[in-house]
Amino acid sequence: MERYQPLRVDPAQMEPGTKSVVVMLNNYHQPLDLLEGGLRITRYAQGDDYHDLLWDRMRELAAFIHAETGAEVATRPAVDTAPLLERDLARTAGIGWVGKNAMLIRQGLGSYTFISEILIDLDLGTDVEEAPDRCGSCTRCLDACPTGAIVAPQVIDARRCISYLTIELRGPIPRRLRPLIGDHLFGCDICQDVCPWNRDAPISDAPEHQTRDIYRRLTPLELIGFDHPRYVEVFRKSAMKRAKVTGLRRNAAVVVGNTGAAEDVPRLVEYLQNEEEPLIRGHLAWAIGQLGRARHAALLRTILADEQEPFVRDELEAAVRRLTGNRSSASTTRTQWRAQTGS
Ligand code: SF4
Ligand code: SF4
């Protein structure tokens, strides 16, 4: 980020000759993030990969602008492919304000939108009025965040944010944060869900944004067992590929640990015994520790005897301790989670 700081401040440094930036919003809002099979997926990732869609639309618009004006036009999909401060650009363009949840909010549309930009070497004037900040004294997003990741208005501590933990983080999810992830498989919409400006946000009817049927039927337990071919088949052209197959399976193990039942333990043990990836073995051990009974501790001790990986050994030992000790704290955490999210 530091390396890109000058570019993030001035689009003209990224695209020499830029005199104006045209900023666009694209509504992707879908009704639910918790799907029938038990996967909770952030709304923006329930349809097709937004990058392709935005590129196509922006190229079309850029070609139109070029044909009409002769201006040189560069297209930049805002979403994580260029070091631009998209939300600030959108705010400067008068499109909306940046809420305390750090999302761009537009009155009448809400915050379930993609931002994209066209950089253009034509001065379009500066007579835009910035939209007023309409958060007022509201603190719903800060209060609702299950991990306390919104540390101040518009400031997110990514290390605690479920979106970061379930999408960007490549290694183990910190053990103390796993119960707070609840049933979030990929991303988190809580701080947008509770925002009053999203209460009447229109639902997108664009075919590309519609929730894929296959996600509706999928269960977290089934997803843990995905091999690479199955992953490619289900998540083809999906933004969820950002987490890679290992990340999604790791997340699914956490979700099952948080929302499953003792009846799931035999399947989890079977997965654990056949799993090659240490990251997944460690999270499976944790899930068994969450759901199992004291009798499962002996089984985990047997698995521990053959385990070489320090991370997995540590997780197995923690799970055994949990199964042979007091389980009440985990139950309380899950109850607190459900009370917080209303799910
Ligand atoms: S996305 Fe979820 S975890 Fe991240 S800040 Fe918002 S509510 Fe908190
Ligand atoms: S929930 Fe309230 S404080 Fe948070 S972004 Fe929405 S209006 Fe602003």
Higher pLDDT, 114 or 343: 114
Residue 154 in domain? no
Q: Is the pLDDT of residue 1 over 60?
A: no
Residue 236 in domain? yes
| Protein residue with its CA nearest to atom 1 in ligand 2 | 195
**pLDDT at position 337, please?**
44
Residue 107 in domain? yes
**pLDDT at position 71, please?**
82
Query: Each residue of 190-248: pLDDT tens digit?
Result: 999 999 999 999 999 999 999 999 999 999 999 999 999 999 999 999 999 999 999 99
Residues 116 and 227 in one domain: no
Counting residues of the chain whose pLDDT is more than 70, the rounded percentage is 90
| Protein residue with its CA nearest to atom 4 in ligand 2 | 141
Q: Which of 107, 141, 142, 190 to mutate to test the pocket of ligand 2 (most atoms within 8 A of CB)?
A: 141
Residues 6+ apart with CB under 8 A from 177: 147, 160, 165
Q: Which of 141, 155, 161, 180 to mutate to test the pocket of ligand 1 (most atoms within 8 A of CB)?
A: 161
| Protein residue with its CA nearest to atom 2 in ligand 2 | 138
| Protein residue with its CA nearest to atom 1 in ligand 1 | 188
CB contact at 8 A, 217 and 201 = no
* Nearest ligand for residue 168 CA: 1
**pLDDT at position 37, please?**
92
**pLDDT at position 81, please?**
59
**pLDDT at position 336, please?**
46
Q: Is the pLDDT of residue 278 over 50?
A: yes
Q: Which among 60, 92, 120 is the end of a domain?
A: 120
CA distance 270 to 312: 16
CA distance 328 to 294: 13
**pLDDT at position 113, please?**
96
Residue 75 amino acid letter:
T
Residue 325 in domain? yes
**pLDDT at position 333, please?**
44
Residue 257 in domain? yes
pLDDT band at 78 (very low <50, low <70, confident <90, very high): low
* Nearest ligand for residue 196 CA: 2
In three-state form (DSSP H/G/I as H, E/B as E, the rest C), the secondary structure along 145-180 is CCCCCEEECCEECHHHCHHHHHHHCCCCCCHHHHHH
Distance 181 CA to ligand 2 centre (A): 21
Which two three-digit tokens encode residue 100?
């305390």
| Mean pLDDT for the stretch of residues 56-83 | 78
Q: Which residues are tagged catalytic?
A: 80
Per the listing, tokens 């944060």 go with: 177
The pTM (predicted TM-score) of the whole model is: 0.89
| Mean pLDDT for the stretch of residues 58-74 | 86
Domain residues for the domain of 325 are 219-338
Q: Which of 112, 134, 139, 198 to mutate to test the pocket of ligand 2 (most atoms within 8 A of CB)?
A: 139
| Protein residue with its CA nearest to atom 6 in ligand 1 | 191
Q: How far are the Cα atoms of 238, 262, 298, 301, 310 from residue 323, in angstroms, in the given order?
A: 38, 12, 10, 11, 20
Residue 151 in domain? no
Q: Is the pLDDT of residue 168 over 70?
A: yes
CA distance 223 to 108: 37
Residue 250 in domain? yes
Residues 114 and 223 in one domain: no
Q: Is the pLDDT of residue 327 over 70?
A: no
**pLDDT at position 12, please?**
81
* Nearest ligand for residue 33 CA: 1
Query: What rounded mean pLDDT belongs to the chain?
Result: 89
With a Cβ cut-off of 6 Å, ligand 1 is lined by 101, 145, 147, 149-150, 156, 161-163, 188, 190-191
**pLDDT at position 118, please?**
87
Min mean pLDDT across 41-45, 217-221, 302-306, 339-343 is at: 339-343
Q: Which among 120, 153, 177 is the end of a domain?
A: 120
CA distance 254 to 23: 38
Cα maximum dimension of the chain: 74
DSSP structure class, residue 311: H
Q: Which among 97, 120, 143 is the end of a domain?
A: 120
| Mean pLDDT for the stretch of residues 291-312 | 96
Q: Is the pLDDT of residue 335 over 80?
A: no
Higher pLDDT, 11 or 139: 139
**pLDDT at position 329, please?**
41
Ligand 2 atom closest to the Cα of residue 142 is 4
CA distance 141 to 133: 15
Residue 26 in domain? yes
Q: Indicate the number of domains in the chain.
A: 2
